[in-house]
Amino acid sequence: MSDLTALSVVELQQALSAGETTSVEVTRAHLDRIAAEDGALGAYLHVEGEAALRRAGEIDAAGTAGTGLAGMPVALKDVFVTEGVPTTSGSRILEGWRPPYDATVARKLKDAGTVLLGKTNMDEFAMGSSTENSAYRPTRNPWDHDRIPGGSSGGSSTAVAGRLAPVALGTDTGGSIRQPAALTGLVGHKPTYGSVSRYGLIAFSSSLDQAGPMARTVLDAALVHEAIGGHDPRDSTSIDAPVPTVVEAARRGAGGDLAGLRVGVVRELGGDGAREGYDAGVLERVAEAVALLEGAGAEVREVSCPSFGLALPAYYLIAPSEASSNLARFEGMRFGIRVGDDGSRDIDEVMALTREQGFGPEVKRRIILGTYALSAGYYDAYYGQAQKVRTLITRDFHAAFDDVDVLVSPTSPTVAWPIGARVDDPLAMYAADLCTLPASLAGVPAISVPCGLSEGLPVGLQVMAPALSDDRCYRVAAAVEAALGAPLTDRLAERAA
């Protein structure tokens, strides 16, 4: 067969079910590519290697390879706990920790017969937009090794775009699936908040964190979403509702017929009068994608959501506040590293030393910011006000969805920037999430789909829909993908060849 690492999930399913290849062969092909390429890319923090081959052999022996996702190699962001497999959340403070249980999404993928290739690199505790905040090493963009792959799920995006995995899971708190997907030419979906379990997902901001798929095609992403979605009684925020019909929607959208669908272009996210900070090439590609939607029969109009402009400051009060609470559990007593426990220090000194050496600069910055925002005398002025803004953003979505079926915008205001360009400018780094934050704060689903290149680098179109209407995201994204032809990552493969 042709290079197995170049095949999509659907193509691998067909090859496995037809007996043209085996799970062991597919897994070995990806492991070989990881060995050859990941030294330069830095996509993985841990590779399963022999364990993955054993798992693939068991699936081949059972005769189930090619049935659903059985036999399919996958990569997991290192924020998902995985039984017996090193899990660090990109932080030194969890170095060497092997969890005693699986996250629900990890268990669901295991039950579906997938093969875990390894755990992917990420910004420490998912705090960042470039994967430069990893405590271990930065990850590089397969399109240009001198540029960032986005974040915080940059390891997952590089793994899939660089053909080191056919599909991967990421997490999205303020855009950490969609933004890296856009910057590496992938499809990345943030499901409706609560529709995919957070059990076993190491928490950054509990009211925002959401797991989702990253893939080369819309249908591949939908197949994985269908496998990981659904109610989980172990997650108190889990919605007891059926998984939206995302696979059917992706297949329907690929037909290119969007007749009657109402599409709203968000004025405040790169629309008329709100173009400052956006690359001209990004806006051109997004405008072309909107024209494709119109050509497929959609009714396009501009929509104003005035509170979206307040999403950035609101998010950077809410998320650090929740992080300052969630990260209090990492003190060196129960898991991870312990520093200074030589018998001469009390427990408070040991905890302080552990956190000093275990947490990186960005994590410390956000803990300090969040603790301040929650402190007596400032809670109402900062955190309380941010939550009120969150309500206004949610109301803007509700008002918009009374008039249109989906909203669209750029996923990222710019293409991938050079490594190191924003490390010393936190505000510039935070601005990378400008377009993705509103959907995160409102808990609505949003997908990024490639819509072309600017300066030779990928651009993403973001599609947002009402809560539990994830199928609309997949339908529209599939229509864009079909209109543009082959997946954008095919161009990357041609360039490499």
Catalytic site positions: 77, 152, 176
- For residue 211, give every residue at least 6 positions away whose Cβ sits within 8 Å of its Cβ, in sequence order, or none: 80, 105, 169, 170, 171, 172, 191, 196, 197, 198, 201, 228
- The conformation of residue 42, written as its DSSP 8-state character, comes to -
Concatenating the DSSP letter of every residue in 313-338 gives HHHHHHHHHHHHHHGGG-SSSSSS--
Helix boundaries (H) for 404-450: 426-430, 437-442
> Is the torsion defined by CA of 394, 328, 172, 134 positive or negative?
positive
The residues pairing with 458 across neighbouring beta strands, listed in sequence order, are 453
CA of residue 335 relative to chain centroid, distance: 26
SS3 254: coil
**Which residue is associated with the tokens 């899971």?**
169
Per DSSP, 153 falls in state S
490: tokens are 């095919």
**Does residue 463 come out as left (phi exceeding 0), alpha (psi in the -120 to 50 range) or beta?**
beta
